[in-house]
Structure 1
């Protein structure tokens, strides 16, 4: 069986080699000819899977994307050819949440905010947004949730219309899929008109899809503002050819790596492997826990004096977004956007650190930390 996988998909050999011959490809530049004999195709968000890519292939059985979003997949075309498909919803949700929290703590330090006095609007409350909402509430931060699809399905869901979030929020964090059309399109959800609705000080965080924010309109907003709003961008329109003129106006700029923790990326591979085994009616014999490397820091003892203000210091032992901002600013022009993603240094999630102590606050496991056994 021929298995083709994106070269940036971790542990793909360990998971899929028992199922067949695994070949790796550059997800940005892969061609139809390369995939002509593929039985299984495993991609990430940089690969457009459609009739053009699969034109030379007549034997494909399974396509998997190690991402939450599926806007790069022509689902209708796959269905028309009876090709099984799966994505990896929630695989890197915790990683993205930790990125957002690190960004919030950094902005709070830079601008001397009290986050407990801020209102955060979370736009898109799915796999990632729901975990972020829980984390913010645990930290005592007021949250407005915006997700019209959930509001339709769940009568008890506390939904705030997008326009109202724009008008009320001190910080907006975007976690919505990219929908170009439909009842709730999200392409350029934040544009010239909606940017004008924001409070002048409203901070923006985008760790969803680049085109959710009109980057050209954002540049005009920032370059003309008397009081420049804080901005965090992990995703950009037209990646890898991003709007370089935005960089001087952005507080934190990273190369679409919010979900790139070791656990987050590997979890996506595991989810594809498990679903592929179901499709092939074969047992899934490999588990992620046996493949993860031993973390540099395994256990930490905290005292009864540990309090909520200490959480950010604990989190920074594992991840500080300033590292990734510095990497992009120093290497983007010399090495390129995709190089930054491919050569991303290891990052572990909160769960890799086991905490011990006589009195461990309940909010620490709620944020994702493990308790020592």
Structure 2
């Protein structure tokens, strides 16, 4: 069995080597000729999987995408061909949620203010939006949800309209898939008019798809509104962001919000499980086996965890400032955007960091402090 896999998908060899011969490819430049004799195709969001790519791949029986979104996959065409498709919904949700939380802590630190007391609006309450809300609520923040599709499905959570969310929120975090048609289309959901309507001193963070925000309109708005603070992990026209936009945003990263080692491993492992099920063979690999032991632990001997101390802990698992600096230096070089993603292998999730407390210390962390760290996902 021949397996064609994106070279930037981790742990493929560890999981799939026993199932067949693996050939690694550049997912962004993958051609139809390269998949002609493939039995299995493993991709990420940079590969458009459609008839043009697969029309001569007559042996192909399984396509897996280590992503939450499926807008890069022609699912109807795969169905017509009888090719099984699997993606990995939720695989990087925790990573995205923690990215949002860390980024907001970093921005608060830079602006010499506190994240405490802010009202955060989550637009899109699927896997990643829910994970972001979990972190923010664990820290005691009020979270507002807007998701008309979830609301129509009968989701029991409380939802409000986008207009109401923009009136009430101090921070807006975007977590929607990209859709170009329908009453709730998200392409340019934040167009020039919507951006102009944002209230003073609002923070806007986008970790879903670049085209949810009209980037040219954002450039225009940011040139006159220094009060609007923006964090972008995704960009219109990836892998070629608009160069004039980058200096205008507070933190800039190359679509890596979900790029924790745990999230990457989880995504590939889900595809491995699905292929094993499709082939009717036993799953004999373990997700825990893939992850290395984390090099740090944290001894906490303070009664109250202030925001500065919490941010220092967060930086042990992911220091956003490093990625921001690298992005600004290399994003406009040849293949710079993709190279930054390919080389992004160091980030862990909160669960990797074990927090330990003195057993009989009068200054040991309070119950509230311990509960907060546990709710955020740190190991105890």
TM-score bracket for this pair, using the shorter chain length: over 0.9
Structure 1: runs of 5 or more not aligned: none
Q: Which residue does 1:77 correspond to in 2?
A: 77
CA shift for structure 1 position 333: 2.8
Q: Which residue does 1:326 correspond to in 2?
A: 325
CA distance in 1, matches of 2:222, 2:4: 43
SS in structure 2 opposite 1:125? coil
CA distance in 1, matches of 2:210, 2:163: 20
**Alignment pair present for 1:289 and 2:298:** no
**Alignment pair present for 1:22 and 2:22:** yes
Q: Which residue does 1:367 correspond to in 2?
A: 376
List aligned pairs for 1:334-349, cutoff 5 A.
334-335=333-334, 336-349=336-349
SS in structure 2 opposite 1:53? helix
C-alpha offsets along residues 293-347 of structure 1, whole Å, 9 cap, x if unaligned?
A: 22221x3322252425332221122212111000101122335211111112411
C-alpha offsets along residues 36-75 of structure 1, whole Å, 9 cap, x if unaligned?
A: 0111110000000000010111121111110111110011
Alpha carbons of 1:278 and 1:313: their partners in 2 closer, same or farther (altered >3 Å)? same
Aligned length: 369
CA distance in 2, matches of 1:254, 1:281: 40
SS in structure 2 opposite 1:38? coil
CA distance in 2, matches of 1:142, 1:49: 40
Q: Which residue does 1:65 correspond to in 2?
A: 65
Q: Which residue does 2:193 correspond to in 1?
A: 193
Alpha carbons of 1:314 and 1:158: their partners in 2 closer, same or farther (altered >3 Å)? same
Return structure 1 stretches of 4+ with deviation > 4 angstroms.
none
Q: Which residue does 1:256 correspond to in 2?
A: 255
TM-score (norm. length: structure 1)? 0.95
Identify which of 294, 300, 303 aligns with 2:301: 303
Alpha carbons of 1:129 and 1:308: their partners in 2 closer, same or farther (altered >3 Å)? farther
SS in structure 2 opposite 1:105? helix
The answer to whether the 8 Å contact 1:27/1:46 transfers is yes
Q: Which residue does 1:147 correspond to in 2?
A: 147
Moved more, 4-13 or 354-363: 354-363
TM-score (norm. length: structure 2)? 0.94
C-alpha offsets along residues 133-175 of structure 1, whole Å, 9 cap, x if unaligned?
A: 1211111111111111111123532101112222222111111
CA shift for structure 1 position 228: 3.6
List aligned pairs for 1:347-362, cutoff 5 A.
347-357=347-357, 358=359, 361-362=370-371
SS in structure 2 opposite 1:333? coil
The answer to whether the 8 Å contact 1:168/1:199 transfers is no
Moved more, 334-343 or 75-84: 334-343
CA distance in 2, matches of 1:365, 1:78: 42
CA distance in 2, matches of 1:156, 1:26: 42
